[in-house]
Amino acid sequence: MSARKIIIDTDPGQDDAVAILLALASPELDVLGITAVAGNVPLPLTTKNALIVCELAGREDVKVFAGCDAPLSRVLVTAEHVHGKTGLDGPQLPTPKMALQEAHAVDFIIETLRREPSGTVTLCPLGPLTNIATAFQRAPDIVERVQEIVLMGGAYFQVGNITPTAEFNIYVDPEAADIVVKSGVPIVVMPLDVTHKALTTRPRVEAFRDMGTEPGRMVAEWTDFFERFDKEKYGSEGAPLHDPCVIAYLLEPDLFQGREVNVMVETGSELTMGMTVADWWRVTDRAPNAMFMGEVDADGFFALLTDRIARL
Ligand code: RIB
Ligand code: CA
């Protein structure tokens, strides 16, 4: 069986970094490129961080592209309070040596979807959806060529983490998220409802540190830093590894359970801006447009993650 072709769109972010490592450690996936977007920290940092993670995985061959540095129509909101000034706070960070690709991320997404056979490329957004929405606006012909979008974003029963009603990735660029959920592309959503059940614990973090490898050490130190926000806010035992849920789904979909529902994005009211309104109980006649995940086998998720990171 040939490897599944994916593009990872990302705003590293410690959890993005773990997701990228998981993808690069998994031969079932063919990472055609990594496209950076402004989100957790500004674009120059998310771009630099994507390079750092590729080098950490020993994958200087991976193509990394810089994308959009601001949302479609809003002022960028970042999350240094969660991820630190660098976006990858925790361990000392190396200066990346591998070159960034010249092309803009949006051009790369468009050209790749036009080149590859229709229906063979999966988009994996781990941050605000600005790059994806811009590509769809600029080249509407590529929309039907996308195999699937598996994204981390949104929340329903878990409500918001950046406002009382909105999850960060959607809140940063709600107009972009609106374009994506209305695109007609098959979508799998990993909302906070499920990522908040993929929590680190001390034994899970020590399993990374005990690998005795540089990737294992970095993942443990990123998690040590990243988890303080959620532990303080939610009183949880550890940090939700949001973005790796996207990659884990591609590798072992049965780890997750969800429901095909209609999901819409609030783009009108400032009070609920960026809220993902999931018709979970199907009380409207709005057609389902996404598989909205709610459950994860957390032990299975961390077993997969640990097995793969240990291979790097
Ligand atoms: O709300 C969590 C999401 O926002 C994750 O993707 C995290 O990396 C940040 O981008
Ligand atoms: Ca992210």
Q: What is the pLDDT of residue 171?
A: 98
Distance between CA 106 and CA 68 in Å, rounded?
Answer: 8
Q: Is the CB of 178 under 6 A from ligand 1?
A: no
Predicted local distance difference test score (pLDDT) of residue 228 = 83
Helix (H, G, I), strand (E, B) or coil at 79: coil
pLDDT in tens, 33-83: 999 999 999 999 999 999 999 999 999 999 999 999 999 999 999 999 989
Number of residues in the chain: 312
- The side-by-side arrangement of strands in the sheet containing 4-10 is 64-66, 29-36, 4-10, 121-125, 146-152, 187-190, 290-296, 256-261
Q: What is the pLDDT of residue 234?
A: 79
Q: Position 235: which residue type? A: G
pLDDT at 85: 96
CB neighbours (10 Å) of residue 232?
9
Q: What is the pLDDT of residue 68?
A: 98
Model confidence at 90: pLDDT above 90? yes
What digits encode the pLDDT tens for the residues 207-258?
Answer: 999 999 999 999 999 999 988 888 888 787 788 999 999 999 999 999 999 9
Greatest distance between any 2 Cα atoms in the chain? 54
Return the axis-axis angle of helices 202-209 and 298-309, rounded to nearest 10°.
10
Separation of alpha carbons 49 and 93, rounded Å:
9
User: Do 133 and 179 form a contact (C-beta atoms < 8 A)?
Assistant: yes
Q: Is the CB of 238 under 6 A from ligand 1?
A: no
Hey, which bits of 37-132 come out as E strands?
64-66, 121-125
> 230: Cβ below 6 Å to ligand 1?
no
Give the Cα-Cα-Cα angle 296, 249, 104 (nearest 5 degrees).
Answer: 135
Q: How far is the CA of 244 from the centre of ligand 2 (A)?
A: 9
- What does the block give as tokens for 47? 């771009």
Q: Does 167 sit in the ligand 1 pocket, CB within 6 Å? A: yes
- The residue whose CA has the least distance to atom 1 of ligand 1 is 168
Q: How far is the CA of 117 from the centre of ligand 1 (A)?
A: 31
Question: Does 271 score more than 80 pLDDT?
Answer: yes
pLDDT digits (tens, 9 = 90+) for 103-157: 999 999 999 999 999 999 999 999 999 999 999 999 999 999 999 999 999 999 9
What is residue 197's predicted lDDT score, i.e. its pLDDT? Answer: 96
- For ligand 1, the distance from its centroid to the CA atom of residue 46, given in whole angstroms, is 12
In testing the pocket of ligand 1, which one of 22, 40, 194 has its CB within 8 Å of the most ligand atoms?
40
Q: What are the catalytic residues? A: 242
Q: From the CB of 169, is ligand 1 less than 6 Å away?
A: yes
- CA of 100 relative to ligand 2 center, distance in Å: 20
Q: How far, in Å, CA of 244 to CA of 159, rounded?
A: 20
Distance CA 221, CA 104 (A): 31
Residues 161-214 have pLDDT tens digits of 999 999 999 999 999 999 999 999 999 999 999 999 999 999 999 999 999 999
- Please give the number of the atom of ligand 1 that sits closest to the Cα of 11: 10
29 pLDDT band, cuts 50/70/90, is very high
Does 148 sit in the ligand 1 pocket, CB within 6 Å? Answer: no
Ligand with an atom nearest the CA of residue 172:
1
Q: What tokens does 283 get?
A: 């009380």
Compute the distance between CA of residue 144 and CA of residue 304 in angstroms, rounded to an integer: 32
Is any ligand 1 atom within 6 A of the Cβ of residue 168? Answer: yes
Global pTM? 0.97
Q: Tell me how far apart the alpha carbons of residues 271 and 268 are, in angstroms, rounded to a whole number.
A: 9
Atom of ligand 1 nearest to the CA of 152: 6
